[in-house]
A = this chain, B = another copy of it.
Amino acid sequence: MLKDRYMMAFVVYIGCNTTLAAAAAALCAYIAPAAAGSGIPEVKAYLNGIDAHSILAPSTLLVKIFGSVLGVSAGFVLGKEGPMVHTGACVASFLGQGGSRKYGLTWNWIRYFKNDLDRRDLITCGAAAGVAAAFRAPVGGVLFALEEVTSWWRSVLLWRTFSTTAVVVMVLRGLISYCRGGHCGLFGKGGLIMFDLSSRQAAYTAKDLAAVMLLGILGGLLGALFNFFVDRILRVYSLLNEKGARSKIILTATISVITSCCTFGLPWLTSCTPCPPELAGKCPTIGRSGNFKNFQCPAGHYNALASLFFNTNDDAIRNLFSAGTDREFGAATLLTFFVTVYALGVLTYGVAVPSGLFIPVILAGASFGRLTGALLGSISGLDTGLFALLDAASFLGGTMRMTVSVCVILLELTNDLHLLPLIMLVLLIAKTVADCFNRGVYEQMVRMKGLPYLEVHAEPCMRSLVAGDVVSGPLITLSSVERVGTVVETLRQTGHNGFPVIEEPPLAAAPELCGLVLRSHLLVLLQGRTFTRGRAKAGAAEVFRKLAPFDFAKAGSGKGLKVEDLDLSEEEMDMFVDLHPITNRSPYTVVENMSLAKAAVLFRGLALRHMCVVSMTQRRPPVVGILTRHDFMPQYIRGLYPNTIPR
């Protein structure tokens, strides 16, 4: 560039970007498809109880880290915050299951997390740590985990996430003070507070408030529109991505070329601005960081648009938020930048690269805010930098529909508590406006991925149904002392994870619900081979002589025994196994004429995986069916009762 070989520079630029982008896409496409995208919807789904292995697998972790580094380097309009949340959750999952047996990294001393509840808590803490590290916002991390990520909140979780982020921030602070010498690149720039604005005056009048409310409404509209576009684009992409790994890479490379063309081409359209005389030494800047990029301009001039595009995202945001720099960026520059970032943000989210949404949204919001500020300058006395901050807040509120956490994260980013009332106001308005149109972007994503996410509120169609209406298909039960062959056959033929156990004559006077037994426990019990010749109780002592209670603990996700691993002889298949010791004798139950909506509240409220439906009359067997997560999915219910008019 300095030697005016622009075409050459463009070819090198586009070549580097596309190569990096293709590498990131290849990593995602071939090794861990689950690592693509933000990762927040996946973590949200996991914490809702969807135990898909790939979401938090070690391979996902590795691809997420390197893919995110490559993706950001490729100059895409994407952030690293979402991937950091996913990374935090993956690390937590990795530690919680005691390492990875597959990669030869195991610690057996972490036995505490061998159950769903504690593992979920740990992963919540991991997600909080991710946000805390990404924004250097410990309290914001706690609130983000609570507001957006978890489905079940307990008071003890608040305290646990808080401890995690406290450790994160101490470590961060140590690293920043270590890096202040400059030997870690750009890390450490800005200190613990990334965009410190605390010197700003915050006096505002009623007129300013009206302007701020307008910002909130505009941000809400923009956010809702953004979600709509993202949804459409993702639908198109998913058709392309289904064709295989190669088409994913081609798509990613195409978007990368478009991005490069925009960022390199658009600055040519803007005129050069002469450097402000007071900044003679700093303008134009040469180097990775700095506000005034020379680009194609003559000496002593800078290209405003290039200063925004060819800067680190952090610096671009800092520039947009900065006060007293009304003249630095013209309205045309800001408008071009806003449109480009908005469009590229929509296009980029969904390619097979780890990509966060925070940075594009903040960038687009901030540039739009400055633009609005310039237009409203006549009626409002607020600084345009302040407009940028407020509109970033309102756009965040409009897309993600978070309130407290965005508010606290922005405060921790900017260190200006005087702005709190304005930020709160703008967030409230933006969320209210956007909620009229569609859902938050993460919720939308969870739905689009087809994950069986349990919503807080029961669907209206559930109110006119009872629990007995949705249990369908033949119910598979086991007797409390069952033939080994029957158990193995049952496990082979069905994929169910829970089976009701019925106490049958002669052990009981009449068939009676004994409890619920889990597939994983059955497999461990069968592996232990405590069988009897006749149909008789073996007793718990017998079983636990061979197996320790810890053998029944939940295995790491994706691990654990499978039916095919069992190797039982013909003779053993004809023996009997006593299920009493492993039966959960206190399953949560509902009666069959329980309203389905209330059953859904119970199911979600207690974070269940199985719920027994018991019969009311004595002429039928004691258990009518088992409700699982899928029985509460609206599409399943609509399939069963297509004519149910939602009230």
Q: Give chain A's interface residues, CB within 8 Å of chain B.
A: 138-139, 142-143, 146-147, 153-156, 158-159, 162-163, 165-166, 169-170, 173, 192-193, 198, 403-404, 407-408, 411-412, 415, 417-418, 420-421, 424-425, 428, 431, 456, 466, 509-510, 512-513, 585-586, 588-591, 593-595, 598-599, 601-602, 605-606, 614, 616-619, 622
Contact = CB atoms under 8 A, between A and B. Distances in A.
B418 A166 contact: no
A407 B140 CA distance: 12
A599 B198 CA distance: 52
A509 B595 contact: no
A330 B154 CA distance: 45
A602 B588 contact: yes
Given A146-B146, A166-B424, A408-B408, 20 more contacts: A138-B424, A142-B404, A156-B456, A162-B404, A162-B407, A169-B424, A192-B418, A192-B420, A193-B418, A198-B415, A411-B417, A415-B417, A509-B619, A585-B595, A586-B595, A588-B598, A588-B602, A591-B614, A614-B614, A618-B618
22 contacts: A138-B420, A138-B421, A143-B143, A143-B404, A154-B456, A159-B403, A159-B431, A166-B424, A166-B428, A169-B421, A198-B198, A198-B415, A412-B417, A509-B617, A509-B619, A513-B616, A586-B594, A588-B590, A589-B590, A589-B594, A602-B606, A616-B622
A158 B403 contact: yes
Interface of A is mostly: helix
A170 B509 contact: no
A590 B588 CA distance: 7
Contact of A428 (B156, B162, B599): B162
A510 B166 contact: no
Contacts of A154: 456
The 9 nearest A-B residue pairs measured at CB: A166-B424, A586-B595, A586-B594, A618-B618, A415-B417, A162-B403, A169-B421, A586-B598, A153-B153
A322 B565 CA distance: 69
B456 A193 contact: no
Contact of A605 (B143, B158, B590, B605): B605
A586 B591 CA distance: 8
A268 B288 CA distance: 65
Contacts of A590: 588-589
Contacts of A138: 420-421, 424
A512 B404 contact: no
A306 to B, nearest CB: 33
A582 to B, nearest CB: 16
A143 to B, nearest CB: 8
A509 B620 CA distance: 13
A190 to B, nearest CB: 12
Contacts of A466: 586
Nearest to A170: B421
A407 B509 CA distance: 61
A208 to B, nearest CB: 12
A18 to B, nearest CB: 40
Contacts of A589: 589-591, 594
B421 A192 contact: yes
Nearest to A619: B509
Contacts of A165: 424
Given A198-B198, A602-B602, A605-B605, A510 B617 contact: yes
Contact of A420 (B139, B404, B421, B593): B139
Contacts of A512: 616-617
Contacts of A404: 139, 142-143, 158, 162
A193 B63 CA distance: 45
A170 B594 CA distance: 46
Contacts of A456: 154-156
A139 B407 contact: yes
Contacts of A598: 586, 588
B142 A421 contact: no
A518 to B, nearest CB: 16
A206 to B, nearest CB: 9
Contacts of A170: 421, 425
A166 B606 contact: no
A411 B412 CA distance: 10
